[in-house]
Structure 1
Amino acid sequence: MKILVPVKRVIDYNVKVRVKADGSGVDLANVKMSMNPFDEIAMEEAIRLKEKGAADEVVAVSIGVKQSQETLRTALAMGADRAILITAADDVHQDIEPLAVAKLLKAVIDDEQPGLVLCGKQAIDNDMNATGQMLSALLGWSQAMYANKIDIEGDHAVVSREVDGGLQTIKVKMPAIVSADLRLNEPRYASLPNIMKAKKKPLDEKTPADYGVDVAPRLDIVKTTEPPERAAGEMVGSVDELVSKLKEKGVV
């Protein structure tokens, strides 16, 4: 079985994001970029499934700017067998929308014919949480979102995930789309020998035109602003005073 893992280049999660002075977007100048953490978890799970013998090949795919090659090399160093880069933008500030990403991934899947697509549940830059679901709809495949445990049983995937009432376990027929949640695993660090080997692994470069997909944006970002500063707390002397204050503010 082949596993396809889409990965996205985003601002490193340790970096404090700054909004441009004109409010047109986020400032990416001289900012450290890395693989989206949820995609990293998905990649780790794909590699573990391969190590267990449940998969024969792991293919990483990235859609975005040319610099996404670095993200794919990280995936190859972790253990992916080969990678595909679809260069869909020239400007690092241009984010490819989920529907366009899903259409491109569908085209890649039509070519590659994987048995399982493992993706992160969302990207930490736009928090859309939509690509996996859209891809499932376009393909007509089963979907299991927010997985914190995955087992392969024949031609089915058994996925455990957190819901409001506790844990839910579902069984979906493959091929399927599964998105990774935070607690699925802890990704490995790429060793220096594997980083060197990654440079020799195949990385194919494509464009949206190769797949006949239009990636023109359908949404206009009107303005980007910093979140409001958190207001200072207020000390109260008793429970009665607390209840009174909450009533004043309309909380209770």
Structure 2
Amino acid sequence: MKNLQSTTTLHNGVEMPWFGLGVFKVKEGTEVVNSVKAAIEAGYKSIDTAAIYGNEEGVGKAIAESNVPREELFITTKVWNSAQGYDTTLAAFEESMKKLGLEYLDLYLIHWPVPQQNKYKETWKALEKLYKDGRVRAIGVSNFKEHHLKDLLDNCEVKPMVNQVEYHPRLTQTGIHKLCKQNGIQLEAWSPLMQGGLFEEPTLKEIAQKYGKSIAQVILRWDLQTEVVTIPKSITPHRIQENADIFDFELSADDMEKISSLNQNQRVGSDPDEMNKF
């Protein structure tokens, strides 16, 4: 992980950047266009959106207006809960592609397992088809706990390449991280900064001071050193640049351990077993 363009190799050989921009809750229109453009100008290659974010068109516009060739970018979107199922997922994919204005996608994810409707295996079959048809370079899941993932692994032809979960020093997800590693599945962090909930943590303040870095930079560096892809959200150009300025230092094993020990299994998002929004 030498720089912002450094990649991890997914189990199908596709290169995925370790670091990217998430656009959850970034407003459609000027706000999302400007933040994606600022990220691409700062050297980001990976942009993560979702159908439910309602900003795929703005992401597409920013990509189209950037000077970076499409093949150098890594674009992720996700199928929402209400569209789960085989045919509905295929239709949702086409809708997302139309909004993004893209010919192909780099990564398509099932947004939540939604165990109450129990359609994720059917949805996965649609993702496998998109993958086999060459519409998507990699497929994966999001917010899958161990039991959801084991169930899917027992019922799939193509193994997920990525599992994107809530991951930060208060929620280290060691069980799912281990299961993903055993199966060659790349773990990816959403809400890596716990939506700002860690900025007053004394341990992190102390470590940040020691390295002459911000708390955000320390947490994002910890992500990378735990071999977790990370996609912090920001709409401020200087913050977008600052978040990415984490490739010129390395946390010691001792400091890594101190950060990991802050775990309290505390979520800011929904518990995947209880998330049933459609």
- Give TM-score, length-normalised by structure 1: 0.30
Identify which of structures 1 and 2 has the higher relative contact order when contacts are C-alpha pairs closer than 8 Å and 6+ apart. Answer: 1
Structure number with the higher strand fraction is: 1
Larger radius of gyration: 1
- Give TM-score, length-normalised by structure 2: 0.28
